[in-house]
């Protein structure tokens, strides 16, 4: 969305900025490509559809306060079944996947320097800033405040 906004605004050096955003997007997709590939075995069409739907739903809603229950309600599946299937097809836990997407988005927002850490935590779908900080450190390796300091240096 930011790429489109930059294109329409056409501010000074917008082409370079768009190129940077595009490179960042490509890097994110390359780094996380394994999250989107499914090792589909024969006769798993319905199972594949469920996981594809879950991935799409998560991708569309990860900035909101979604839960495993929300995804299960959309698919009319129980939590343990969806969790097991998601792990089977993607090799990662569904909550871990949601938090990974949120942390990558948070990094982008932190780079922008437009929002406070508290604002970013809510924009990324986290209930509290403390929980956001804990998850961010777990996924990225440093706290959000240390991440911001590293950007400034």
Q: Domain for residue 56, yes or no?
A: no
CATH of residue 122's domain is 1.10.10.60
In a domain, 147, yes or no: yes
Indicate whether this model's pTM tops 0.85.
no
Residue 1 falls inside a structural domain: yes
Q: What is the pLDDT of residues 35-80, one digit of tens each?
A: 444 454 555 688 989 999 999 999 999 999 999 999 999 999 999 9
Q: Is residue 41 part of a domain?
A: no
Q: What separation in angstroms does the CA of 92 have from each of 84, 99, 109, 118? A: 10, 11, 25, 28
CB 23 within 8 A of CB 64: no
Is 148 part of a structural domain of the chain?
yes
Domain total for the chain? 2
- Tens-digit pLDDT profile for residues 90-142: 999 999 999 999 999 999 999 998 999 999 999 999 999 999 999 999 999 99
> Residue 121 sits in which domain range?
98-152
């Amino acid at each position: 969305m930011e790429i489109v906004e930059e294109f329409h605004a056409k501010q000074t050096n917008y082409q370079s900025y768009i190129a940077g955003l595009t490179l960042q997007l490509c890097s994110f997709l390359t780094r996380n490509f394994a999250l989107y590939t499914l090792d589909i075995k024969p006769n798993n069409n319905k199972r594949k559809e469920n996981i594809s739907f879950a991935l799409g739903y998560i991708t569309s809603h990860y900035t909101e306060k979604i839960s495993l229950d929300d995804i299960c309600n959309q698919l009319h599946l129980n939590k343990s079944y969806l969790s097991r299937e998601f792990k089977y097809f993607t090799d990662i836990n569904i909550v871990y996947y949601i938090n990974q997407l949120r942390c990558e988005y948070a990094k982008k927002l932190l780079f922008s320097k437009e929002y406070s850490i508290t604002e970013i935590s809510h924009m990324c779908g986290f209930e509290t800033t403390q929980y956001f900080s804990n998850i961010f450190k777990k996924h990225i390796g440093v706290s959000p405040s240390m991440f911001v300091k590293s950007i400034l240096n």
